[in-house]
Structure 1
């Protein structure tokens, strides 16, 4: 693994800028958007440099090769086009945002950071050459678009629109992920370029799943409902996400996989009809909208249907027309969205029924809108005309041609309606007063509109530049070429016919509107929320039927399912052949410990008191630690012993709120005993079957060598901090989430963000004394206070020793964190909840978050030094007075685990200890 490569550097630059955005906005205000535009500008410069240097450009960095995951990027003509659009339009939108939002807007820092993060995610998406990596960026765009659409959390329409977009695109993304896995497994690789070059055999399920993801992202029928609702977002968000970036992700995926699957009947049967339907429905709805922004939204839906149709046709000519329209659409639609923002900013409304005479008040803005609108309608000599001509020519002889001509007529009609509604002087509608428009707002819109005119004569050169992509389609289809003028052809005649029909539709807009009202069908947004409510009701009913509030029942169902799976495998799969040597025991103490464990487990079945039950269950845990020790695993034994001790503390805290005698279970003891034995047999048998079915050499023999390579003398430490560091990081996150979930249930009505620090009877300005006798006299335990005073600092020192010794001896961050937590527990038991606040002044959530961040942050250290993420780096230094010191990044990772565990224990004590204390005191106070 070498140094950072260009695309990786650009992604990191976007991430850093996004993280610094709130700070920059606080310091510089709206002027900070000039700095935030630098990462996308660098991406645009990279696109130009790469195009000049030659294509394709490849980058690859191993990430998790065993799982088929690598940071693999590839820039070919299609990726270069999308990179230029995503970054170039991103720069202009960020500059536009600097004057769109008022100075001092409290959400400006958040908006700027999320916008830059979204731009980086789109850059990663269009350059990724690995299906799994593409999915990661795909979902990042989903999350960031949710935050951008819901920019105003106080607005209900904004929240609903964000949730609708998140729901639709996430469900589609999950389907797409399943399709990616099927494709990758069938092809034997997750490299997109290799799959396209040599696609696996017919995989209809994979193709359909990928199409579902692409169509939902690009708002194709029946997933169109989320895009018009997303117009609740600020206008710059719509100009970026819904013209040049997010909605193009699905189109890009179809374009990327089209050379491999475009000639499949299934591919065309799904993409082409849905594209035609979407184009027609979107155009028809645009004719009925009075809000300029929603009019453009439905127009975007229509144009996306057009693009999906072209890339779904699977021919070289249609793909050439598709890349032409891809460029033209980004330019004219982003420009028109920015124009809507200017009109709204100047006039205070987007309702075309209330606007009149804006063209005279803003002639330059009107000119930009006319230029962009003409390109959208397909008028010469603009880029939209060249793309539409190529599309009509490529579809000659196809049934879809009729739909495209009809859709083009609708496009011309709603374009005229937009321009008339925004800028024309209307009889009976008084002109609205207009605020002046800053050049920083009108400039980006004008530049995008002019580019549609300037680039139109270069379409022939552009077609040649894109030939490296379009030539990968195996089927040529009807002859087509991308040019500003192709002569008098049938395509030109159809284009003129569509324009004439569009003008007629506009001139007869009143009867068309009446016909639309007569043909009104159920609103897609209402159908969406109806479906959500029905699904929610079904989920509640199903949950109520399955979950009756009995934890023993849940556990029994889970265990029965495990036994059932084992029996099903034996009955229908046959008894497996197990060729594993079975040894009763290796050391004489092992059967003794097992007998004690079995006796404790049986005793737990007959225990009638919760306290005795907790102690007996604890004995099974301590016995397991002894088994680890007997097998020569002192590190595991220490961890098990400490974890069991902490579990007993949790039991003790919870038992204060439970009756002394447990309620008799409904399941007989014999049934529970039989179920336990069955689970044991299935688990043991499954383990032996897994061992017998092993097809490769076990890695145990390599552990010692791996530990030496990482510089660790403790093999367990080498495993959890280097070899399986990702597992450790994931488990830390799971433990933190579990802790927060459990303790949050205690705060159903009252969630405290800090433990009370007031000490009854000691309200002074001085810092309270350590163990200041804050408990009532009858609740104090002097012996425990003395023990706490004598052992607290010693035990904390021991925890730090375990942290540092873990790399070369028995210990580690997990064990050290539990020891520190037990020291805090003793101090809490001695001094009560007020003492807990003094013992750990930091908030538990801060500690857990800081620890997890520190552990995850060590992944970047390896990348900065040209190594794998989370790979352990070590060095030896000489320190005065200390002598030879061995330093390792594993220590930083372990320190993060240590801090996380301390925060977890504090949160447990805060929820199950301090909060329960407060509730008990409140109940006892008359």
Structure 2
């Protein structure tokens, strides 16, 4: 089912684009299918031979990492909430959002992905797998809360929720790693069983569990992290109804329920959860009574109820846990119903301010009935599910003899009084008729919008008298929990237990809460006179402010914009750190071997000469070329030692590097200026020499102290036997060490995106401007309007045939119509046209031949990139658009997606990720062929490299061209305004004059490169 959610999230975007908001009806079928599947497993989970359903997907067996999914009673209960409420919220979305809602398709995909993450979280039985889903809900909730991107409040609330929950998640990750390291297993069910039997004790276990609880506390918005939840009400109402009532905030409660049977007796467990739970319940209720925004009232009420749930879940005993499960179900039903009703009220009335709402009973009676019943369940009024669950909490706490239960009972009763008061305040504020306030106009209530609240209300009503049905399912979970007192485990949920103390305390709670509401004005005055206490939201803002100030202070002193300074810091740290380690080590064991063949001496001599030449170069272009020679010298060395793949890759990388340097140098002075820093050339030489000596010693020492065999000893056999290839380098990249390659291509994608982000500061268009052609071959109006540069036809031999010839003749490239003659090279245009397609075919050959011969996806992508470079150099940015009519981001995304799908596919056609399948057979003409799924991974690498090259050419090439054209245009305007051209000097002559001036300016240098220099 987890895969079904993620699959639906992929198709959600095109589906919404096709069907509009009606697509939510179809998307609701996915969580509905999950609900039906969970219900279909009742006989297996609760039958006579009940056993959890377990599915084990190996991730990295060698490291003991696996994806273990386990559907037991607790997970089954949570899946009902995730899928059931999720389906209703999706139906609600179909009419909540207007047809023209911006970003609705994106919202649908993210919402479905969040549901998948939540579903995976509650069925994961491995700590690290649970953490992946945990953080997935954090990321997707950030995107959902910030759905209204144009609203600053939404962006700030989303960022606040992300920072708080991620901070808690990082603490949780540390705790999980500690727990796995200390116990030797990450399987949650095994860990709980071991803890129950007393096998895992000690300070490390206690520290690990407390750190895990930090993550649970932050996710479930307990004090002091509670402030992010009210802020998250900036999200659309369906998000609040799902994430903040039935799904995300329940993740922390679920984790406490999951771990409590094993770890509830460790030091700090009860003290932390009981204290924070009761404080959160009280703070949330107190703040809810101050709110005038209905959604904020419910938000603080949710905070209060989460504290209530955490307090009950922390005990881990059978009876109290049963009451906690009842509260969990009741809260999900009534709170999601209330949020959905508030969304309808906001739509109809245009406000959520309870001081401006009047006549709600008449305006929307169906919504009023649903919300009133849900609020009554929240207050614990009979005969609703909330009443049965709250009375169960009172009864189980009163029957427990320990001190924690007594404290918990007192705190929960006080918090419940506040709950009754703000529940009454909600109903009064939303639906009562207020004097002096205009009544809301009545409009018809659409069934598609109110059907979800109606179903939730019906369940709240039905499960009150039918709470005994839930008791049977809950008992299947609580029967395995350790009892702490005689008789523990015999409590049963029921609507009527007779006249007992719990019923009396429930009556007192309801009466006190109603009295508090009736005397709300005096109570509000009391609230206003009392100090507000510590404002955790303001404290958060202060901490963020201090961190930003610290970051600015550090950045101002380290990021000076001076490349020599950055290099100097790196070099000095390298020499000081590594150098001291070398000096302090007495066992160097250096064995000198000056060369393998005499050819090595030639390469070494070239490297020394070009190194000296690079340091002596006065012009930037010279330094680049000389430095490039050192790269080509390494190509020769790789060829000498029999490494054709390395040689091929090096020559391609070196060529592209030089091209990139040249593109950048267009915007820099030709000469390298004199240093204005404090370091003299002598000091620079000393630092450079020290770095060189340090690196040389590291290499010599590392080669001399090796005691183990290299890991590559078996690569030849592995490549041939398992990878079905004879090119060890390529098979290593796409199969043996594919994880390394996955990380490297991720870096390439980040690099391409970073380059574009630095150059395209204000925005990044999807496509370069192209010329559209009509059927007759002439240019049509496309994305850009321009005046083609005409080619003059000159009659050199005075034959008279030059007259009347068309000035728009066919050209080899589009450069003939986009570049001025002075910027064109006919030889380069003809050559580019002739070799481009051949080079592309050659790159594809390298891609598929790389498994057995030199090549592969990386080399093939570089060759294709060089083909694009040639087209760009020959024809400029418009020619690049013709050669590559696709976006770099599309290529990068397609390549990375292809690689990731290949990784995940290993689970489908193999045993683990990256597991490849090879098909062999004989084909006519082609002969014997062997094709492996790892080829798809190599195709992904190929696409990413091509996308990176295109991003570089677009950014450092086409975009810099555009900047240069703007500068030339600005200079032209200035000269035109300040220079008086003669009347017989036409536009062409003026353009030539300006071009000559620009050419002369480009040849000038800044005076010595000094600060404040002039042309």
CA gap 1:688/1:257 in 2 versus in 1, 3 angstroms: farther
Q: Deviations over 1:71-91 (max 9, x none)?
A: 210111111111011100111
Give the Cα–Cα distance (whole angstroms) in 2 for the partners of residues 374 and 75 of structure 1: 33
| Cα displacement (A) at 1:513 | 1.0
2:310 aligns with 308
Equivalences for residues 116-265 of structure 1 within 5 A: 116-199=112-195, 200-201=200-201, 202-203=203-204, 204-265=206-267
Give the Cα–Cα distance (whole angstroms) in 2 for the partners of residues 45 and 686 of structure 1: 65
Give the Cα–Cα distance (whole angstroms) in 1 for the partners of residues 809 and 249 of structure 2: 60
Give the Cα–Cα distance (whole angstroms) in 1 for the partners of residues 305 and 529 of structure 2: 25
| Cα displacement (A) at 1:598 | 4.6
1:454 aligns with 462
1:96 aligns with 92
Give the Cα–Cα distance (whole angstroms) in 2 for the partners of residues 390 and 560 of structure 1: 68
| Cα displacement (A) at 1:295 | 0.7
Give the Cα–Cα distance (whole angstroms) in 2 for the partners of residues 381 and 348 of structure 1: 33
Q: Give the conservation status (yes or no) of the 8 Å contact 2:891–2:944.
A: yes
2:271 aligns with 269
Q: Deviations over 1:436-471 (max 9, x none)?
A: 222233332232223233223454553443345435
TM-score when normalising by structure 2: 0.84
Alignment equivalent of 2:788, drawn from 750, 755, 761: 761
Stretches of structure 2 lacking an aligned partner (at least 5 in a row): 46-50, 772-785, 791-806, 973-1015
Q: Give the conservation status (yes or no) of the 8 Å contact 1:347–1:435.
A: no
Q: Deviations over 1:289-316 (max 9, x none)?
A: 1111111110000000111222233444
TM-score when normalising by structure 1: 0.92
| Cα displacement (A) at 1:237 | 1.6
| Cα displacement (A) at 1:420 | 1.8
Give the Cα–Cα distance (whole angstroms) in 1 for the partners of residues 549 and 281 of structure 2: 34
Give the Cα–Cα distance (whole angstroms) in 2 for the partners of residues 645 and 713 of structure 1: 27
| Cα displacement (A) at 1:372 | 1.9
2:870 aligns with 826
2:1012 aligns with none
2:428 aligns with 420
Alignment equivalent of 1:677, drawn from 692, 696, 700: 692
Give the Cα–Cα distance (whole angstroms) in 1 for the partners of residues 34 and 705 of structure 2: 49
Q: Give the conservation status (yes or no) of the 8 Å contact 2:571–2:687.
A: no
CA gap 1:30/1:850 in 2 versus in 1, 3 angstroms: closer
| Cα displacement (A) at 1:716 | 1.5
Give the Cα–Cα distance (whole angstroms) in 1 for the partners of residues 693 and 312 of structure 2: 59
Q: Deviations over 1:707-745 (max 9, x none)?
A: 322222212221111222232232112112213323443
Give the Cα–Cα distance (whole angstroms) in 1 for the partners of residues 136 and 859 of structure 2: 35
Q: Give the conservation status (yes or no) of the 8 Å contact 1:578–1:688.
A: no
| Cα displacement (A) at 1:499 | 2.1
Q: Which moved more, 1:893-902 or 1:582-591?
A: 582-591
1:912 aligns with 2:912: no
Give the Cα–Cα distance (whole angstroms) in 1 for the partners of residues 317 and 576 of structure 2: 51
Q: Which moved more, 1:166-175 or 1:600-609?
A: 600-609
1:535 aligns with 547
Give the Cα–Cα distance (whole angstroms) in 1 for the partners of residues 78 and 623 of structure 2: 64
| Cα displacement (A) at 1:643 | 0.8
Q: Deviations over 1:565-622 (max 9, x none)?
A: 4357678xx7486789876554444455345435544554444432332233323333
Q: Deviations over 1:55-78 (max 9, x none)?
A: 311001112234443221011111
2:668 aligns with 658
1:853 aligns with 2:897: yes
Give the Cα–Cα distance (whole angstroms) in 2 for the partners of residues 162 and 689 of structure 1: 54
CA gap 1:371/1:757 in 2 versus in 1, 3 angstroms: closer
2:622 aligns with 612
Q: Give the conservation status (yes or no) of the 8 Å contact 1:771–1:830.
A: no
2:642 aligns with 632
Q: Give the conservation status (yes or no) of the 8 Å contact 1:386–1:482.
A: no
SS in 1 for 2:58: strand
Equivalences for residues 313-352 of structure 1 within 5 A: 313-352=315-354
CA gap 1:472/1:593 in 2 versus in 1, 3 angstroms: farther
1:444 aligns with 2:452: yes
Give the Cα–Cα distance (whole angstroms) in 2 for the partners of residues 427 and 113 of structure 1: 45
2:417 aligns with 409
Aligned residues: 913
Give the Cα–Cα distance (whole angstroms) in 1 for the partners of residues 79 and 524 of structure 2: 40
Give the Cα–Cα distance (whole angstroms) in 2 for the partners of residues 765 and 37 of structure 1: 59
CA gap 1:904/1:259 in 2 versus in 1, 3 angstroms: same
1:646 aligns with 656
| Cα displacement (A) at 1:660 | 3.0
SS in 2 for 1:61: strand
Give the Cα–Cα distance (whole angstroms) in 1 for the partners of residues 349 and 964 of structure 2: 61
Give the Cα–Cα distance (whole angstroms) in 2 for the partners of residues 256 and 691 of structure 1: 48
Instruction: Give 1 or 2 for the bigger CA radius of gyration.
Output: 2
CA gap 1:916/1:140 in 2 versus in 1, 3 angstroms: same
1:16 aligns with 7
Give the Cα–Cα distance (whole angstroms) in 2 for the partners of residues 29 and 682 of structure 1: 66
Alignment equivalent of 1:900, drawn from 937, 944, 952: 944
Give the Cα–Cα distance (whole angstroms) in 2 for the partners of residues 914 and 446 of structure 1: 58
Q: Deviations over 1:874-902 (max 9, x none)?
A: 21244444333332323322222222222
2:105 aligns with 109
Q: Deviations over 1:761-795 (max 9, x none)?
A: 35899997426445444444455445434543433
Alignment equivalent of 2:839, drawn from 792, 795, 799: 795
1:838 aligns with 2:882: yes
1:508 aligns with 2:519: yes
| Cα displacement (A) at 1:685 | 6.6
Give the Cα–Cα distance (whole angstroms) in 2 for the partners of residues 257 and 333 of structure 1: 25
Alignment equivalent of 2:718, drawn from 692, 705, 708: 705
Q: Deviations over 1:817-849 (max 9, x none)?
A: 111222222232233333323222323222222
CA gap 1:594/1:482 in 2 versus in 1, 3 angstroms: farther
1:392 aligns with 394
1:40 aligns with 31
Cα RMSD for the two superposed structures = 3.0
SS in 2 for 1:711: coil
Give the Cα–Cα distance (whole angstroms) in 1 for the partners of residues 499 and 581 of structure 2: 70
Q: Give the conservation status (yes or no) of the 8 Å contact 1:315–1:477.
A: no
| Cα displacement (A) at 1:376 | 1.3
